[in-house]
Structure 1
Amino acid sequence: MAMKIKNVRFDQNDLDRLDKLAAIHQKDVSTLIREVVTDYIDAEEWQLQQVEETVDAVESGAMETISLEQFLREER
């Protein structure tokens, strides 16, 4: 996949922290940032998919729901 450039601004403290982490992991900062962003995107997409699937299941009646009050009564 072709790489494209996107300018991102960081404060100096975060850049220093990124430099340290990149050195610890023996990677350049660009690689570290790409990996972190990819992991974040993957996690967010997974969470959104789970929410959509849950909403669909509730709306279709495939998943039963209870009120908060009922849940709290049952947990005591």
Structure 2
Amino acid sequence: MHRVEHLTETQERVLRCIRHAIADRGEAPTVREIGEAVGMRIGSVHYQLVELETKQAIVRTPGPARGIRLA
């Protein structure tokens, strides 16, 4: 598995949520599901996803609700 360096604790929690959802259900969680799982508002989740994408931890596909892939 690809290990991304320099993630904040919050980014680690969001990334862990995404990894678990993909492993358990075979698909990424929605932004709302991530927020519920880690106790964040939707806007904060969007911000963290942008940061994770910038740090190349994830790749997002514009459009689909579950368009998150692990990098």
TM-score, scaled to structure 1? 0.32
Higher relative CO (Cα under 8 Å, sequence separation at least 6) belongs to 2
Q: Greater strand share, 1 or 2?
A: 2
- Greater C-alpha Rg: 1
TM norm structure 2: 0.34
